[in-house]
Amino acid sequence: MTKQSFLQGTLILIMAGMITRFLGFINRMVLARFLGEEGVGIYMMALPTLFLVMTLTQLGLPVAISKRVAEAEAKNDRVKVKKILTVSLIVTAVSSIVFTIGMIAFSPFVASLTDKRTLYPLIAISPIIPITAVSAVLKGYFQGKQNMKPQSYALVIEQVVRITSVALFIKLLLPYGIEYAAAGAMFSVILGEFVSLLVMIQIFKRKKTIKIRYRFFTYLKASKHTLKELFSIALPSTGSRLIGSFSNFLEPILVAQSLAIAGISSSLATKQYGELTGFALPLLFLPTFITNSLSIALVPSISEADAKRHDRLIHYRIHQSIRISFASGALATIILTLFSVPILTYMYGTGNASKFLVLMAPFYLLLYIQAPLQSALQALDLARPAMWNSLIGAACKFTVLILLASNPNFGIMGVAIAMSASVVLVTLLHLVSLNKAIRYAIPFKDVIKMIVLLVTTWFIGEFFKAIYQHMDPNILIFFLMLFVIGCLYIVLLFVLRFITREELKQLPIIQKWV
């Protein structure tokens, strides 16, 4: 099976993430155009419940599988790899059955806490749970092998299937009501995940070097130690994800109740929440396809280095990930802050969510380095501190949310402030945890470079914004302006050495030219 270097694997995931993120935005534009703000609000209120159940089902195994397989590969232990797969498949199969039934049973109760119209989307999405459970095991296996191609293929195919079917299902069901149309949008997600899983299974059959069915139960009985090793990572990782998923699950409930206290009607609250989570947040999360790619590749890379006691390499990989993550997020932060209205208008036909972008974008810059920091903690068997950091962040978010969103002077903006406060706190706590564990700190020289990058890019953006404001609105001119800003930004990255020649030479395309 082909193994890629850290940067090669990251690049493959970034390319797939770029494609899927672009397709995802098309999908969101279709949802916005067909469902409207209220329909998107219903769709977004149902998703947190799904993410919570999926987190419970997977039990943090993808990260644990990736780490343990990478360690076994470093020692060339194929028997250990088979034990890891055997245990993981059994655990996820059992948990997926239990939680699928549980989600269907509790859907009416969950819907009654937010908006009763979310019932049909919740029921419609439930079959996706066993599909994503098996898919997560295979992704963890391939990540541990440091082969990122199968996951990348699956991600792209999933989005293609989803985007080609979402409009069809919405159109078919919209005459029956907006809640049925939202359920149709959910079904397109299931179809995409199912086709994606079929692709992963086919690649696994073709690429595998071990036979799963051979002496399956013998390996299962002899895998108690493997189960303990997996769960030493999986349970704290699940704790972190569970806190995030449970936080997202409670969020629409608390938002609806808090806004009701502030005197805002249920219909208006759903619309405002749809603007925040359906329009603004996807744009704020845009650079995360790069940071998530780095995070996925970081776990097996650090795990392998840790198994071989290469401490300097561990520090270098963390530093490299933070540097690249910040570089990917800084441009998005400046552009979303300066050009929030035209971006939202061109994408969704309305600029109502611009106030959220202007407020949240500067704080969400720290989100882009949060994922690599958490992956580093998990790869170093420090998943428990990462879990506690996430718990503190969630508690902070809910406290601020309830205090501000229930105040008529803040309303929905209180929710945006709460989200931002949580992002900042968790990122800083992750940095403190790494510093305590391995004495890692971002070099002061790099902090200065980060500030210079932000300030310079801001002045470049302001210059082009002043020019654009004196022109007639034109989407082609707007994209050309963003392209020029992007090109100047890339030059800045090389001048400030956020990207080095040595790193470029590790990439296959550059290697052919050298």
Phi, psi of 380 (to 5 degrees): -95, 20
pLDDT band at 27 (very low <50, low <70, confident <90, very high): confident
- Taking only the tens place, the pLDDT of each residue in 146-188 is 788 888 888 888 888 888 888 788 888 888 887 788 888 888 8
Q: Quick check: 346 and 269 in contact, CB under 8 A? A: no
What 3-state DSSP class applies to 351?
coil
Coarse DSSP helix, strand, coil percentages of the chain, rounded to the nearest 5 percent: 85, 0, 15
Residue 478's Cβ-side half-sphere holds a number of Cα atoms within 13 Å equal to 16
For the residues 450-468, what does the mean pLDDT come to? 92
For the residues 441-470, what does the mean pLDDT come to? 90
Separation of alpha carbons 54 and 125, rounded Å: 11
Separation of alpha carbons 137 and 63, rounded Å: 9
Domain edges within the chain: 17-253, 264-458
Q: Quick check: 179 and 121 in contact, CB under 8 A? A: yes
Separation of alpha carbons 341 and 333, rounded Å: 14
Rg (the chain; Cα; Å): 23
For 261-277, give the DSSP string.
Answer: HTT--HHHHHHHHHIII
Residue 186 burial (CB < 10 Å; 0-12/13-18/19+)? buried
Q: Quick check: 69 and 103 in contact, CB under 8 A? A: no
283 against 240, higher pLDDT: 283
Q: Quick check: 181 and 143 in contact, CB under 8 A? A: no
Tell me the helices (H) and strands (E) count for the chain, helix number first. 22, 0
244 against 419, higher pLDDT: 419
pLDDT band at 485 (very low <50, low <70, confident <90, very high): very high
Q: Quick check: 130 and 94 in contact, CB under 8 A? A: no
pLDDT band at 223 (very low <50, low <70, confident <90, very high): low
- Taking only the tens place, the pLDDT of each residue in 365-413 is 999 999 889 888 888 888 788 889 988 998 999 999 999 999 989 988 9
Share of the chain above pLDDT 70, in %: 91
Residue 3: the pLDDT is: 63
Residue 421 token pair: 């406060």
Q: Closest Cα to residue 258, out of 110, 114, 116, 402?
A: 402
Separation of alpha carbons 16 and 406, rounded Å: 41
